[in-house]
Chain A
Amino acid sequence: MRMNLVLELLDVPGQLVSILEPISGLGANLVTVVHRRDAKNEKGKIPVQLTLEGEQENLNRVIKRFDDLNITIVEKDGFTNKEFVSTILIGHIVDRDVRDTTDKINALDGVFVIGFDIKLDGEKKSTALINLEVDPGKKHFAFDKIAEIAGEKDLLMINEV
């Protein structure tokens, strides 16, 4: 079977070869490569389109190898490879400006608030569940930055394992 991938590579010599080398060793064939050095994205990385052919098992091994090499897979078979994660904040969320909190999170690079559910506990603290869509490989970045925002506002943050 075939698999289409879009990867992101650093613009340094040797990057492309180093990722193509392992493919045949893992039992997959490279059908096409499109490497556009002029299409550098805002992060300064170059998108590379690959089409691979092989047994599903071998294709999975290639994906695993890319993960191990810390290579970002932006797209797989036409679907963006975004991650969906959740976090909970507890504290004086309303008093400390909810709007500002979500704006600050949305302003983070590659992090988008896609769901927000808040429950008030009378006069006391409130609790919010925030659903996020994050670009591939950005999960830890997102959690670290939200922890900073929560820290400034004295909110307890509960993250996914």
Chain B
Amino acid sequence: MKECKIIIMGFGSVGQGIAQAISLKKAMIKERYGVELKVVAAADSSTSAINQDGLEEMLLIHSKNSEGNLSAYPEYGSSISGLDVLDAVDYDLLMEATPTNITTAEPALGLTLKAFEQGKDVVTSNKGHLAIKFGEVTKAAEENGVEFKYEASVGGAMPIINFARETLSSCGINSIVGILNGTTNYILSRMTSEGSPYDITLKESQELGIAETDPTQDVEGIDAACKTVILANSVLGIDATYDDVSVDGISNITSQAIELADKDGYLIKLIAEVSEDTLKVSPRLVKKGSAYDIGGTLNMATIKTDLAGDVTVMGLGAGSLETASAMLTDVISILKVKY
């Protein structure tokens, strides 16, 4: 039986989702693709659990949640962390789910480049290194002859990158216009349905755990702008970086604006636009009942193609198991070509 030895880097919401998804799907993967997935290491910001013979996915989650760190894993808990984990065990594939950082791109950048140099494949949900150094990172993967997949970085569980590149491969893609941030979509949807002002709606979303304590990345459009850059590079082949995107968030949207729009048959949405001439994230008017009329934390995107016309996708843009599902699909596509 062929084997794929995995390191999970970052063991928060997404990292734990990966562990759970592997636990749920490894039997199916073994049966269908003839490859056994084995988690040989998992790491958080300061500790890890490492065992060349494999770790138990659900026990990793239990250890992390009961003690707050992975060194609590019975027998194989360790204080090794960061780049050193990649030297501590023999592995085939790195699944990277550390926090997104759009100033230094670390720790994702260092981890990813090191894995490439070691000849290992990488699957990520991180946006930082892709948004500021897309060209450098993808080139490094090519030079080292390894696979690098990042479907989960845009739209979580909503299929978009592989969908546009593979399923729509006969088409030229002219533009992608969509709602790529679930938190702001939730806030705007609530402001519309409740008539409530921005500040109060934000606070309520934070209490529900939908918006983060520091909501800047979401509400100022930074997160959507990172995704815009990733789509521009990966789907439209535009050599762009974060600074090329014009970004306006939703913090200036008044309840009056939402009310006026509503009266005229419109909704206000935070829209990302990706095309050769425009890289832009901004609040826009969309027609009620159109493809852009989606509520809650959903994401959507309309891909404008030359042959197929407009194709629209929609799905959950975040969530632990949802995001992990996209990463596991990336793993399977690597298994199909390499194993």
Contacts and interface: CB of A to CB of B under 8 A. Distances in A.
Interface of A: 86-88, 90, 117, 119-121, 125-129, 131, 156, 158-161
B279 to A, nearest CB: 15
B253 interface: yes
Nearest to A128: B260
Contacts of B286: 160-161
A160 B285 contact: yes
A155 B292 CA distance: 25
A153 to B, nearest CB: 14
Contact of A125 (B254, B261, B266): B254
Contact of B254 (A86, A87, A121, A161): A121
Contacts of B248: 156
A86 B256 contact: no
Contacts of A156: 248, 252, 283
A146 to B, nearest CB: 13
Interface of B: 177, 248, 252-254, 256-257, 259-261, 263-264, 266, 268-269, 271, 273, 282-287, 292
A158 B285 contact: yes
A127 B283 CA distance: 14
B268 A158 contact: yes
Contacts of A90: 252-254, 257
Contacts of B285: 86-88, 158-161
B137 to A, nearest CB: 31
22 contacts: A86-B285, A87-B285, A90-B253, A90-B254, A90-B257, A117-B263, A119-B256, A127-B254, A127-B257, A127-B260, A129-B257, A129-B263, A156-B248, A156-B283, A158-B283, A159-B282, A159-B285, A160-B284, A160-B285, A161-B177, A161-B269, A161-B284
A120 B286 CA distance: 23
B184 to A, nearest CB: 14
Contacts of B253: 90, 158
Given A90-B254, A160-B266, A161-B292, A129 B284 contact: no
Nearest to A120: B256
Contact of B256 (A87, A127, A159, A160): A127
A129 B262 CA distance: 10
Contact of A117 (B252, B260, B273, B282): B260
A84 to B, nearest CB: 10
Contacts of A117: 260, 263
Nearest to B178: A161
Q: By CB atoms of chain B within 10 A, which of A117, A126, A127 has the most?
A: A127
6 smallest CB-CB distances across A and B, nearest first, come from A129-B260, A119-B256, A127-B256, A127-B257, A160-B285, A161-B284
